[in-house]
Structure 1
Amino acid sequence: MLCYIEGRFLMKVDVVILTKNSASTLRHTILGILNSVPVGNLIIVDGCSTDKTIDIANEFGAKVITCSSGIGVSRYKGALEVKTEWFCFVDSDIYVFPSWFKQLKRWMELERVVWIQGLTLEHSNIFASYALSKTLTYARKGCVALSNALIKKDIVLECKDWIRNNVHAGEDAILYEFVKSRGYRVLVDTTALCLHLPDCFFHDIYALYRAGRSDRLRRKHFPILYLGVPLLLLKDGFFRSILVNDLRLTAYFTVMLGLSYMLGFSEIKKDKTEKILEKIDKLGMSTEVNQLIAKEAEKWETKFKNLRRIIYV
């Protein structure tokens, strides 16, 4: 399959997007993809949305699959529908910039590279230095994530761990371990930019809660060992605070993120707690998305050009 973009024909790739009540961001996500990627099939794996997510997906002619299982199973089911050798995973709250795919596809022929991802720009109106610390850490060290990835279909379907464990978070780390165990490589191109649309201050509190729940389900270690996670977050927060010269990050990592993780792991009033955190996450969604995209793109272009590079992780 070929697609005509920017005066030339490009090989099409399928795109898989996971959704659940994603109406506030999905349209921006799809428009960004169509402006960057030579799309073959647009595949939506939906976790039983109750808002207008499905209506938006249908507007763009997407193939919609319903899956109420964990995120690992959802990604696997999406990959089963893919018809191309390589395909893209893009999260429903990610906006990929126009040159995103062009930058990533350069590395498809590299030996043993099966997973290529771009750089996620984070933002926060509540805690700007926290968002900056995340973006700078991604740019300097790389980050394993399926939120914006060009990946080989075969390697996704070979990995069965995220199906057996029905994980709700951390599926990218599971796939990464599998990829490395097979002797393959993962590459991060920090010139392939995308923007994470939610405010990361709220979003990460909810993300750590889901990570705690996922770790409880997986139980790879003795439960008492997971009590050390807040200490690991303390260490990360300390180094991030030095990176951006803001000691408040240490407290945020240890108290807010650490507590959220432990709430998830303990599963205290899990259904009620998750609903509250999900609503808080939605509060961080900007209503001026187009302005946000333009502002963050300009900031990266003017301030962080020196961090553009290729990282093997």
Structure 2
Amino acid sequence: MTDVSIVVCYYNAEKWLEECIRSVYDQDFIGTIEFSLYNDGSKDSSYEIVERWRNLLEERGISVKLGGHSEPHPKGVGFAKNCAVRQSNGEYICFLDADDVLRKDRVTKQYEATKDNKNIITGSQIWREPEGSTVRFTEWANTLTPEQLYTQMFTSHGPTVVMPTWFCAREVFERVGGFNEGGKGVPEDMLFFYEHIRQGGSIQRVDEPLLMYRYHPEATTFSIHEDTIWGHRIAFFQERVLSKWSKFTVWNAGKQGRKFYRSISQHNRNKVLSFCDVDEKKIKKGVYIYEDSEEMPRPKVPIIHFSQAKPPIVICVKQALTSGSFEENLASLGLTEGRDYYHFN
């Protein structure tokens, strides 16, 4: 069995594929590497680029597995990723997107971090191209503490371990059952990540930027509707957090806090003690009435100042957008993340 399979699925990736493959060729890993590529019906020169590199890779000692189809339409990222993994045979799997680039020591660093744990997904820090893209997201992903990898997995940024940096034992993939193959518009990475956590899986991050995570408007991420992501996040949060709480407070009496309240089940809405906020106008109003509720009388939820909030708290305020004032207010309460509050922003 090969030590590590680097897996890539691609669809019309000719703009980036050359640089991606070169970064695989340049890996300094001293073990055995297999490169498994699956062509999801590309119509451009992507396949020709792969073929040009095939002999070079194999001369370098990197075995190459190729698969794909030529049907008129792509079958989707989840399907293609599953095919790329299942045609490979590495003991460990290193995921890579066709538009991203590996640092030359990525496989070495993540293999060393993962080899003693067959139930963990190991990620890494990233850098963005073009430089300065998604600054808030990049800072968030790169600076989460080991504890926050678990406590902040419900935020809108998605999995706390960025998917193109995933490295894991093949057992993780098999245990989860692969990626959802629903096609375009399905957040297959998020669903895989959630199922891994459900099954007691662990996560960690190598605190070095081992991947150039390219930002461009053609990225698959942009094909997934925000409401789809929201629905999966709500369901997972209710399952993992709200099911364990008898009462809680929602921080944000504005649009996002109200949307969260309306999205959770009636059972969980009945647990809400109050909304809390800093906005005097909202606090002066005194109450939020859920006008669209099927319950009669319609629920009325008090709105109070954040300093009066009773934990546990669901925070529906975006981080790093208030010049530090939100963070200062939260710190002033002396609460513990993961026990007294969770971010859902």
TM-score class, shorter: 0.5 to 0.7
Seen in structure 2, the aligned counterparts of structure 1 residues 133 and 69 have a Cα distance that, compared at 3 Å, is same
Query: 1:112 offset after TM fit, Å?
Result: 5.3
Match of 1:147 among 164, 169, 172: 164
SS in 2 for 1:49: coil
- Residues 189-268 of structure 1: pairs in structure 2 closer than 5 A: 189-199=206-216, 202=217, 207-212=221-226, 238-242=318-322
CA contact (8 A) 1:103 1:192 kept: no
RMSD: 3.7
Query: 1:219 offset after TM fit, Å?
Result: 12
SS in 1 for 2:15: helix
| One-letter identity of the residue aligned with 2:92 | W
Verify: 1:159 aligned to 2:176, yes or no.
Answer: yes
* Bigger helix fraction: 1
**TM-score, scaled relative to structure 1:** 0.60
Seen in structure 2, the aligned counterparts of structure 1 residues 167 and 51 have a Cα distance that, compared at 3 Å, is closer
Verify: 1:91 aligned to 2:91, yes or no.
Answer: no
Seen in structure 2, the aligned counterparts of structure 1 residues 132 and 180 have a Cα distance that, compared at 3 Å, is same
Higher relative contact order (CA 8 A, sep 6+): 1
Cα shift readout 1:255-297 (whole Å, capped 9, x = no counterpart):
xxxxxxxxxxxxxxxxxxxxxxxxxxxxxxxxxxxxxxxxxxx
Seen in structure 2, the aligned counterparts of structure 1 residues 64 and 237 have a Cα distance that, compared at 3 Å, is farther
| One-letter identity of the residue aligned with 2:321 | S
Cα shift readout 1:225-274 (whole Å, capped 9, x = no counterpart):
xx979968xx98942434799xxxxxxxxxxxxxxxxxxxxxxxxxxxxx
Partner of 1:104: 110
Query: 1:114 offset after TM fit, Å?
Result: 2.6
Query: 1:60 offset after TM fit, Å?
Result: 2.0
- Residues 263-302 of structure 1: pairs in structure 2 closer than 5 A: none
CA contact (8 A) 1:96 1:194 kept: yes
Partner of 2:36: 43
| One-letter identity of the residue aligned with 1:176 | F
Cα shift readout 1:130-153 (whole Å, capped 9, x = no counterpart):
522221111122523331221222
**Cα distance between partner residues in 2 of 1:40 and 1:243:** 46
Query: 1:157 offset after TM fit, Å?
Result: 2.7
Partner of 2:68: 66
Partner of 2:21: 30
**TM-score, scaled relative to structure 2:** 0.55
Seen in structure 2, the aligned counterparts of structure 1 residues 203 and 37 have a Cα distance that, compared at 3 Å, is farther
Cα shift readout 1:55-96 (whole Å, capped 9, x = no counterpart):
111112243322532211221111111211112111011111
Partner of 1:177: 194
In percent, how many aligned pairs have the same letter?
A: 11
Cα shift readout 1:11-57 (whole Å, capped 9, x = no counterpart):
74111101111111111111112212646321111221111100111
Q: How many residue pairs get matched?
A: 223
Seen in structure 2, the aligned counterparts of structure 1 residues 229 and 87 have a Cα distance that, compared at 3 Å, is farther
Query: 1:102 offset after TM fit, Å?
Result: 2.2
| Gaps in structure 1 of 5+ consecutive residues | 2-10, 222-226, 246-313
**Cα distance between partner residues in 1 of 2:140 and 2:319:** 10
Seen in structure 2, the aligned counterparts of structure 1 residues 100 and 216 have a Cα distance that, compared at 3 Å, is closer
